[in-house]
Structure 1
Amino acid sequence: METPTLETLPLELALQVMSYLTPHDVVAVLGTSRRLRAICRDDGFWRSLCFDNSRLASTLRRRNWRQNNSRPQTFKARRIEIRAAWNSVFEHDEPATWYDEYIQRHAPLVTNWFELPRRRDGSRLLDNADVLEVCGVALYRPLGADTATSGEVTNENVDGSDERNIQLCGIPTLLAVAPLEDGSVCLWDVNGTIKRRGAIVQQSTPGLLFAGLQDGTQDPSKRTPVFSVTECVAVDSSQNLAYFAVESRLVEVDLQTLSVIGVEPGPLSIIHVQEYGSEDTISNDIFAAGRISSILHYDRRKVSVVKSAIHSGASLSGLASIPYPFPAIEDYSRLKKSHAWTSQSTGRTVVACGEYKSKGSLELYPVDEGQLNEPMVNRQTSSSAKIFSVASHGRRLAISDGTGFIRWFERDGFTEVRRCTLGGDDYVEAGDQEEEAERRMATEAQEPRHHGTHHNSNGPLGTEMGDIARKLLATKTGSHGSTGKDSFENNDLLFWTGEKLGLLSFSPKPGSRAVDFVEETKSAAERDAEMEGNLYRARMRHLFKSARRFGEDSDSDD
């Protein structure tokens, strides 16, 4: 009789066998055959792993979720109820690939910094004075752009690694749009389908966004920065238009020609809420926040009249939306069967963030009329400092706060999934090359004594990490970027620090740095010569400092 294998077992038995394997072992088995690939990508299996490894499950275990009931049948039924409530919002026809979800909850995070924009004066200088600050960011998905297919477009550098010619099958073109401090508009390649990932695709002439402001006092290219709000840019990808809040005006720019086509007064930070069940279809509901302690609701068919208002009481700084309702369960540990999510409501959720009495505030509001759910407001455990931005990221909420953390929460707004800080960027300012070379010498001298120590891959020699994300954007929403269920969909997180852009990716490979884009323009001989020169100057300066200290310590009269 032939011995049964994992591949020949029925699905239920195969899943039971897989439950004894670690996630790394399951991934190793996944690539052996099509049958095992289908088994190892089972949504129920990975959803169970996501729940078992969640902070909620560990909290419930500490609280003794069996509630002093030792009957195995009762324990199993209660576990099923709690797990169903944990992500009950996903049962409303929302597509979910739990293999991807597990990766985004537990895979290593790496920071990829974007190319730094430079002042356009006819020449491209490399000193620090030439770098321009980024004053906001939004995502642009050109509908007319071709999607990268096998054999057409290659990504020169994926996740900051040195691998070349990695094909991007089915990856759509995605661009980051931002105003710069000189009034120009800059476009970056986010997915790497046009140029290298994070590289600048196009930059307009200086003063483009200031040309429509009729003050007549100075050259538009000589104006000072006037971008004072976080949500100062919005993009309409279907019409290839971008809207920039500049002083008291809203400047409309054609992203295909990078030219101003109109200037509407009184800009507001707004969000268009999607239709129920669709990330791609925009409804008529518009919500605005940021100037008063309430969220204003407009109908875009009649935007001159406020349809309704939601009082928050907090100083709000960001909005996001989810085309699904959120669970109205306050305490999972007291969940009863009658409280399980069974409603067929078509509700949607508006997520707001900001500051309340010097602490962070994370707020979820139902937006459909007639819905019975109460709003959820977390002003205790969301953050100890102001929350700058919030984004719907996969099946989680991502926030950035004033403490420098990026945190992920379940959609209940209370249960934290994971957190991280941004990896440092090792861009060297003008005049600091010698200091950088001296630090490199010191580290190389210590390497034999600290063999095997892992340095931060995002910046050499443990670059200090002090960047704070002012705005977060998920690079994949709805069907955009979907490459099918047989491949992992990289739902990276684009961030803006107030000065520059970067990307948080889920990868064990080292991240990219802004200096990499400058170094690529140099030949190998030029890079070697520059490094040798920096090391030589660092050694000489070290010798002079040693000689000076020797002279100060000497008691000789000579």
Structure 2
Amino acid sequence: MADMQSLPSEIIFQIARFLEPIDIVTLQHVSKRFLDLGRDDTLWREQCFNSSSFLTNLRHRQQLITSESTQEPRFRDLARALANGNGLGDSRLIQPRAEARDLKARSNEKIRIMANWDPSYPEEKVQWYDEYIARNAPISISWLQQPRNRESPEHEYLEVRGMGIYTPPGEEDATLVVGPLDDGSVCLWDISGTKGRKGSIIARSKSGLISADPASQIGTGKHSKLISTGVTECVSVDNSRKRAFFAVQHGLVEVDLETLSTINQEKFPFTITALSEAKYPVPLTVGTNMSLYLHDSRARRNVGQTGNSGADRIDSYDSTFGSLRSTGLSDFRRLLNPDPSPLFAHLHHPGPLSILHLPSSREHWDGNGEIYVAGRFPSILNYDRRNFPRLRGTIHSGARLCSMASLPYPFASMEKDLARRGELSIEQIWEAKTRPGKTLIACGEYNSKGSLEMYGLSPEPHLTTISSDSFAGSLQNSVMKNRQTSSSSKLLSVANHGTRIVVSDGGGNLKWLERDGFTEARRWNIAHGSIEAPRGIFGTLGDSYMDSGSGDIVIKMANTHDGRDGTLVNGGLVLWTGEKIGLLSFSSKPGFTADSFEETGTKTPEQVRTEREERTYAETMGRALEANANEVRWMRGLGLGMS
């Protein structure tokens, strides 16, 4: 071992390249020096490439090439580079005088193929060791502590009505989840374990704090008017100011996350259907059924106490203070007036479901960015905050979109298609990845199937006056719409996860795709756990069970850390099912379970075990009955021409 320690790092690194991933992990335990070498990004980037579906697909295409075509120069190097797992060709006999030349050609071809696969960008920071784990390790989900109804004698479980990620300023290691509950209270969970038990509730407000009619429901044990069903983007957290915004029917409630008390409450003429992210000092964009508003919390009057005399009156925006003021029925009629308004943006089609803010530059937010709105209408709407509420342009989709994400890097569909087939040169890849631009990612439903869409956004032209019609064409320079393989059911949520894109669908499935939007990296089902047989250092890849056997679906996903600065964290995902919140992690077993937070009290171990067995039996029988019902529905009318 002393001899190994004296070897140069370059030699140790070359030896490690011939080891299996599990042996490289074992090597990291030898010493601190070997730990650093065993976490080398270049080493694990190659391991990710060797185990990727991109390489598998490329080998399949290479096998389809006839023996005549492989003699052509453009296919010969590719065939040799893909001949074995490390891309260096077979150990066939080569003429000595041509050995060095062929070895160089195969090495160059391997570099070119790997560059075609590489999903990262030149300025992006990627931890490839974590990336390998996220691509290959087993998946488990840990459910956060489910809150109970404090007002009811039965203390039944309460549903979680939304989700937001909260990282207090100066506490980057502390990650909290904020969620409104069915009784109108606000709950905080710790998923990092820095403020309490991991996955447990660390704070909860009084009941009725954010309900639309708080004064009439507190202490009655009844459910107050809360967040509308179907509103996914109903929670927005401002980390810098330690505040959260909740969309409750027509109202927008601002809550202090340190004291869990209401700061402001504003009412809008229509039901709020979407909120943008809150990032001080950029105004929050509020989407209602028929209009869009810019909400600047700094101009808000402190209502503090709810239930005042003007709470039931129709409110509208005041052009001077930028806030809602109670005026009367005339302003309600003005909202229905199709003429443009300087106070808010009219929507010709109702139902915005997702609002995305993009900064004007990659480096920082200056408040002059763009606003993208998607929902139950065929186009993505684009606004410039400096010229709001004038519509800047539209991007036609044709699908009903419900979730959006972005990347601060360019997207070109033609180059992505060629790279997926391994046909680009090193120079072409570099040019495609270094050109200016951003990527808009959207998902939803098209003709009852999932639709994953990616739009390459051009840099903003330095123009001060331009009509929305002429500017609409320059919003995008490339389009990709995957409506064939993304999902057989509606896509519900999309997020960036490391160097991959992750989507969830109506069947309870999660699918990780490469950034071309087509190549699948892995998949998993929330109802049955990770059925796939893991691969690499974790085992051998098997088929995933993609049929959901329970009602759980992932409505919203969020990274445990913000990756806007380009450092895309490969940690877990926070999942919201519409009723409860879970933490997805890459491990063989959950970090905690629902039983972890239950107080057994005076129950004996035998009683606890019996209750656990009863729950398991009930879940098993429920799945069996549902499977039988699915079989009956499938067999109904088979061969009789009946539906």
How high is the TM-score relative to the length of structure 1?
0.74
Match of 1:202 in 2: 203
Contact 2:402 2:492 survives alignment (8 Å):
yes
Q: How does 1:83-102 map to 2 (within 5 A)?
A: 83-87=114-118, 89-91=120-122, 93-102=123-132
Tell me, in whole angstroms, the C-alpha distance in 2 between the residues paired with 1:203 and 1:468. 26
Match of 2:455 in 1: 365
> What is the SS of the residue equivalent to 2:210?
helix
Match of 2:311 in 1: none
Q: Which moved more, 1:174-183 or 1:221-230?
A: 221-230
Match of 2:7 in 1: 9
Tell me, in whole angstroms, the C-alpha distance in 2 between the residues paired with 1:51 and 1:279. 32
Q: How does 1:524-539 map to 2 (within 5 A)?
A: 526-528=603-605, 530-531=607-608
Contact 1:274 1:282 survives alignment (8 Å):
yes
Tell me, in whole angstroms, the C-alpha distance in 2 between the residues paired with 1:188 and 1:275. 33
Displacement after TM superposition at 1:424 (Å)? 6.2
Displacement after TM superposition at 1:490 (Å)? 6.3
- Which residue type is aligned with residue 312 of structure 1? S
1:387-436 CA-partner distances (Å, limit 9, x unpaired): 100111111111111121111111111111111112669xxxxxxxxxxx
**CA pair 500-109 structure 1, distance change in 2 beyond 3 A:** same
Tell me, in whole angstroms, the C-alpha distance in 2 between the residues paired with 1:533 and 1:407. 36
Displacement after TM superposition at 1:285 (Å)? 2.3
The question of 1:263 aligning with 2:343 is answered: no
Match of 1:46 in 2: 44
> What is the SS of the residue equivalent to 1:498?
coil
Tell me, in whole angstroms, the C-alpha distance in 1 between the residues paired with 2:399 and 2:118. 28
Displacement after TM superposition at 1:501 (Å)? 0.4
The question of 1:181 aligning with 2:186 is answered: no
1:293 to 370, 378, 403: 378
The question of 1:388 aligning with 2:492 is answered: yes
Q: Which moved more, 1:354-363 or 1:294-303?
A: 294-303
Contact 1:393 1:474 survives alignment (8 Å):
yes
Displacement after TM superposition at 1:348 (Å)? 1.7
Displacement after TM superposition at 1:225 (Å)? 4.5
Q: How does 1:121-520 map to 2 (within 5 A)?
A: 121=151, 130-143=156-169, 147=171, 172-211=173-212, 222-228=223-229, 229-260=231-262, 261-263=264-266, 265=268, 266=272, 267-268=286-287, 269-274=354-359, 277=362, 284-326=369-411, 328-331=415-418, 332-333=420-421, 335-337=423-425, 339-343=428-432, 344-369=434-459, 373-422=477-526, 466-478=551-563, 491-518=571-598
Structure 1: runs of 5+ lacking an equivalent: 148-170, 426-462, 483-487, 539-558
- Which residue type is aligned with residue 131 of structure 1? Y
Displacement after TM superposition at 1:464 (Å)? 6.3
Contact 2:450 2:490 survives alignment (8 Å):
yes
**CA pair 406-5 structure 1, distance change in 2 beyond 3 A:** farther
Contact 2:117 2:422 survives alignment (8 Å):
no
1:93-139 CA-partner distances (Å, limit 9, x unpaired): 11111111111111111110010111122x8x6x5x61111111111
Q: Which moved more, 1:469-478 or 1:286-295?
A: 286-295
Q: Which moved more, 1:325-334 or 1:38-47?
A: 325-334
Tell me, in whole angstroms, the C-alpha distance in 2 between the residues paired with 1:382 and 1:342. 28
**CA pair 353-527 structure 1, distance change in 2 beyond 3 A:** farther
Tell me, in whole angstroms, the C-alpha distance in 1 between the residues paired with 2:512 and 2:366. 25
Contact 1:136 1:233 survives alignment (8 Å):
yes
**CA pair 527-497 structure 1, distance change in 2 beyond 3 A:** farther
Match of 2:638 in 1: none
**CA pair 202-239 structure 1, distance change in 2 beyond 3 A:** same
Identity of aligned residues (%): 40
Q: Which moved more, 1:503-512 or 1:414-423?
A: 503-512
> What is the SS of the residue equivalent to 1:374?
strand
Higher RCO (C-alpha under 8 Å, 6+ residues apart) = 1
Contact 1:55 1:416 survives alignment (8 Å):
yes
Displacement after TM superposition at 1:224 (Å)? 4.5
How high is the TM-score relative to the length of structure 2?
0.65
Contact 2:379 2:396 survives alignment (8 Å):
yes
Displacement after TM superposition at 1:204 (Å)? 1.7
Contact 2:212 2:251 survives alignment (8 Å):
no
Contact 2:374 2:380 survives alignment (8 Å):
yes
Tell me, in whole angstroms, the C-alpha distance in 2 between the residues paired with 1:13 and 1:342. 33
Match of 1:451 in 2: none
Match of 2:107 in 1: 76
**CA pair 172-275 structure 1, distance change in 2 beyond 3 A:** farther
Displacement after TM superposition at 1:247 (Å)? 1.8
**CA pair 79-311 structure 1, distance change in 2 beyond 3 A:** same
- Which residue type is aligned with residue 323 of structure 1? P
Contact 1:274 1:321 survives alignment (8 Å):
no
Q: Which moved more, 1:31-40 or 1:259-268?
A: 259-268
Displacement after TM superposition at 1:78 (Å)? 3.0
Contact 1:120 1:205 survives alignment (8 Å):
no
Tell me, in whole angstroms, the C-alpha distance in 2 between the residues paired with 1:515 and 1:355. 37
The question of 1:111 aligning with 2:152 is answered: no
Contact 1:278 1:478 survives alignment (8 Å):
no
Displacement after TM superposition at 1:512 (Å)? 2.0
Tell me, in whole angstroms, the C-alpha distance in 2 between the residues paired with 1:505 and 1:348. 29
Displacement after TM superposition at 1:29 (Å)? 0.8
